[in-house]
Structure 1
Amino acid sequence: MISVEEARQRLLKLASLMPVVSTPLPLAKGRFLAEDLIARRQQPAAHMSAMDGYAVRFSDCPGPWSVIGESAAGHRYNGALAAGEAVRIFTGAHLPENSDCVIIQEDIERSGDNISLCGDAPHQKWHHVRKAGSDFSNGDRLAQAGTQVNAGIIAAAAMAGYGDLPLFAGPRVAIISSGDELVPPGLPLRTEQIPSSNAVMIAAMLSSLPCEVQDLGIARDNLASLAEKLEQAKGADIIVTIGGASVGDHDLVHRAATDAGATMDFWRIAVRPGKPLMAGKLGNSVMLGLPGNPGSAFVTAFLFLLPLVRHMAGSAQPWPTSLSAPCTTAIAAGGPRAEYLRAVLQDGELTPFHMQDSGVTKPLASANALIIRPVDAPPVGVGDIVAYLPLDI
């Protein structure tokens, strides 16, 4: 068995980055930047008013002033202020030439075209003014390559002069479940059958990432059925098999894959749950074989499949980031495999589920964290700080 860290590094070496596609801003959310986002203009482009009021020269305070015009957003006043002059101004409008502060309308008393202070005078230049370039300047880096595009980046890109962005395409992921006992969700069951829950679970886990998921259904426990599904998966960037990756008489995925021409890079890692994890290449596809127990499939998909998709889609940080919090219960010393315990983080404290069997699904319904237990980890006492991964999926 190899370590989790070695498996991670070897897995990413099997993969290649997806092509770069120029993508319109409305379609950019969730994808990863292929280049640094560099501003093509400055914002604001000129000095702008931050409030409704009157633009004046600070040196003319405390007034009075004569109003000579108006400046509104999109309709600037084109003249310059002389001594004792003011321009009525609205939020987002250009400041007239020679003006350097704004007095809010609540502090002004107006009679015809004459105004005077009735409240506080500006205490310095540029009072209530958004100075040119105060948001960003032409050439500023607004986001780094490899960053996942969110609504804020889209807003900044639009303001910076972009209508589309260079983004990595998302990989195509084909999912193959295997097992004679599996039945599609919602159909009647015999006692020896179970619903096929893993494929829909993993597709849901992938839904927040930029990828195209195709569920190819259930392969039966024979080489012909597996070969047919692997043939259907050709053309996918990632082929995910679920189940059949262990060493039992009916665990045929490894043999079917090699018969189809796959080369396996590793098989079995020192992790609990999820030891029977396979990774290799089938043609140009990265092939990842996940265990069939739902707890194992969930944990290994979170630890390996999701980072693989992020990496191929251009993420600069494909691995989940660990945090730490106190534990509410004692945990026994670890063993020769790293463990990832399903847990609930509530009120800043972690509580692992008593039942950590890889075959149970009930804990997955409320788990929002995985407690990290390294190889040969020391025992944990109540209140001890432990590392965990948030399940933000």
Structure 2
Amino acid sequence: MAQLSDDCFAFGGPMMSVDEAVAIIAARVAPVREVETVEIAQADGRILASGVSAPLPLPPFTNSAVDGYAVRSRDLPRKHEAAFVVRGRVVAGASAAEAIEPGHAVRIFTGAPMPEGADTVFMQEDVRLDDEGKVVLPEGLRTGANVRAAGEDISVGSAALPAGQRLRPQDVALAAALGLTHLEVRRRVRVAVFSTGDELVSPGASRAAAQLYDSNRFMLIAMLRRLGCEVSDLGIIRDDRDALAHGLKKVAGAHDLILTTGGVSTGEEDHVKSAVEKAGKLVLWRMAIKPGRPVAMGIIAGTPLIGLPGNPVASFVTFVHVVRPTVLALAGAAQQRLIAMPVRAAFSYTKKISRREYVRVTLHRADDGALEATKFPREGAGLLSSLVETDGLVELGEEITQVEPGQSVGFIGYASLM
């Protein structure tokens, strides 16, 4: 398990910016050490433990990029079309029986290896056959057209996949194209998740009139699993300092990260802070972010703890900007910067300076073809419908105080956050 010092997340400022939080996490959280070997069919979403060098070039041989006719470049028609005798036929998976003869063409198909001496291919759509069965080739084709050279994609021995890559389907495809059957990956990050609060019950349990069904825990578990984590669902721990402290100590040694939701504010019934101080050491982060300012971070027996707010939208937003980079750092993955896409605001908004805010929006196509962002009509960090009925978040930087309709703003889609 990860073993961090008690002052790993120490920060002296009164309010931490989002960028400062991510920088501290990336610099001070060590990745899990254990490495395992998996079949490439099971590698999607895993973190590559060591870089992959290409054991062969891609493509491994020079081949035709189209169905057509292969010729020698020295025979290319220069000023007018010319007819060529067709001798030979090469299909994908086979090799030419003999080298191409001067002034001749070879019928060839996509992916088939080029005959010896041929270096240019005419597309079959651009040629015609005359009455004698010769192929008539137009003038003006450049040397090397429609040919894929050996190694033009990746040369042998070059870096194909870097260590720390969070493997995607296209990465798996590249590994397969290189003939690899297995990849070395970091083991999955193990995360313990629980909610706090006497007001919560799990779905399916008996609910009193003043209680709510716990939703945050299931949202966080789903988000963690999309990041490739192994998740232990610890349920709900009641608002009791000793019970919380006991629960934290119990799970710390078997997990790489402890994640809680609720109870991190400064109210009399918010017990996470005192429980963490009893079980380990807490550095309470007050991040300059809305929604989601109260975020707790601490260390329990060398295991990092993150306490997220209880409001679901605040929990979602702070997960993206605190938990996600922590998980990536623990997994040994390169930090994946969230890049906002410029869209046009179709709303007005006022915010405080020196605080980053995230506005829930829906995208639509305006009459002029531009993408416009429409703000969810209601405010409130407790509105789950505002996450369900929107497409993503408009990110408003610390220096922005006002948004007007027609202004360009940065949009981050929900799909890019997991």
Q: TM-score normalised by the shorter chain: which range applies?
A: 0.7 to 0.9
Amino acid at match of 1:3: M
d(CA) in 2 for partners of 1:103, 1:380: 55
* CA drift at 1:28: 1.8
Instruction: Give the 3 Å change call, closer, same or farther, for CA 354–92 of structure 1 in structure 2.
Output: closer
- Asked whether the equivalents of residues 75 and 103 of structure 2 are also in contact (C-alpha less than 8 Å), the reply is yes
Determine the C-alpha separation between the residues in 2 that align with 1:269 and 1:136: 44
Q: Report matched runs for 1:71-90 at 5 Å.
A: 71-83=90-102, 87-90=106-109
| Secondary structure of 1:99's aligned partner | coil
Given candidates 100, 117, 127, the residue that maps to 1:98 is: 117
Shift of 1:132: 2.2
Contact 1:32 1:168 in 2 (8 A): yes
CA shift for structure 1 position 231: 4.0
5 Å-filtered alignment, 1:302-381, equals 302-334=320-352, 337-347=355-365, 348-375=371-398, 377-381=400-404
Residues 1:249 and 2:273 are matched in the alignment: no
Moved more, 75-84 or 190-199: 75-84
Alignment of 1:138-149 (within 5 A): 138-149=156-167
Deviation for aligned residue 1:256: 1.9
The 1:77–1:254 alpha-carbon spacing in structure 2 relative to 1, beyond 3 Å, is same
- Is 1:216 equivalent to 2:234 in the alignment? yes
Say which is worse superposed, 382-391 or 361-370, in terms of deviation.
Answer: 382-391
Pairwise mapping of residues 1-40 of structure 1 onto structure 2 (< 5 A)?
Answer: 1-4=14-17, 5-19=19-33, 20-40=35-55
Q: Which residue of 2 aligns with 1:268?
A: 286
**What are the Cα deviations for residues 257-313 of structure 1, in whole angstroms up to 9, with x where unaligned?**
2222x2223333333222221112112321001111212211111211112112222
In structure 1, which of residues 161, 169, 175 is the aligned counterpart of residue 193 of structure 2?
175
Conservation of the 8 A alpha-carbon contact between 1:51 and 1:91: yes
Q: For 1:217, give the aligned amino acid.
A: G
Q: Which one-letter code corresponds to 2:46 in the other structure?
A: R
Work out the CA distance in 1 between the residues paired with 2:406 and 2:122: 56
In structure 1, C-alpha distance between the alignment counterparts of 2:306 and 2:234, rounded to whole Å: 15
**Which ranges of structure 2 fall in alignment gaps of 5 or more residues?**
1-13, 77-81, 366-370
Cα displacement string for residues 46-86 of structure 1 (whole angstroms, at most 9, x for unaligned residues): 2212334444434456454363x543323213432334555
1:238 equivalenced with 2:253 (yes/no): no
Say whether residues 1:45 and 2:60 are aligned partners. yes
Q: Which residue of 1 aligns with 2:215?
A: 197
Task: Give distance in 2, aligned partners of 1:197 and 1:60.
Answer: 72
Contact persistence 1:39–1:142 (CA under 8 A): yes
Structure 1: distance between partners of 2:233 and 2:204:
16
Q: Which moved more, 1:201-210 or 1:301-310?
A: 201-210
2:201 touches 2:214 (CA, 8 Å); kept in 1?
yes
The worse-fitting range, judged by mean Cα deviation, of 51-60 and 249-258 is 51-60
Alpha-carbon distance in 1 for matches of 2:123, 2:377: 62
Pair 1:371–1:55, CA change in 2 (3 A): closer
Kindly tell me: are residues 134 and 378 of structure 1, through their superposed partners in 2, closer, same or farther at Cα, counting changes over 3 Å?
same
Percent sequence identity is 33
- Do the aligned partners of 1:58 and 1:122 also contact (CA within 8 Å) in 2? no
Relative to structure 1, is the Cα distance of residues 383 and 27 closer, same or farther in structure 2, using a 3 angstrom cutoff? Answer: same
Structure 1 residues 80 and 172, CA gap change in structure 2 (3 angstroms): same
Q: Aligned AA for 1:366?
A: E
* Structure-2 residue corresponding to 1:297: 315
One-letter amino acid of the structure 1 residue matched with residue 290 of structure 2? R
Matched residue SS, 1:281: strand
**In the alignment, is the contact (CA less than 8 A) between 2:256 and 2:304 conserved in 1?**
yes
Change (3 A) 1:104 1:361: closer
- Are 2:360 and 2:387, in contact at CA under 8 Å, matched by a contact in 1? yes
Deviations 1:360-390 (A, max 9, x none): 2221112333333445742222222334433
In 2 relative to 1, CA 287–49 (structure 1 residues): closer, same or farther, beyond 3 Å?
same
Aligned length: 389
Conserved? CA contact 1:175–1:199, under 8 Å? yes
Whole-Å separation in 2 of the counterparts to 1:257 and 1:362: 32
CA distance 1:93–1:305, change in 2 (3 Å): same
RMSD over aligned Cα atoms: 2.9
The whole-number CA distance in structure 2 between the counterparts of 1:318 and 1:100 is 42
Do the aligned partners of 1:174 and 1:240 also contact (CA within 8 Å) in 2? yes
1:193 shift after superposition: 0.7
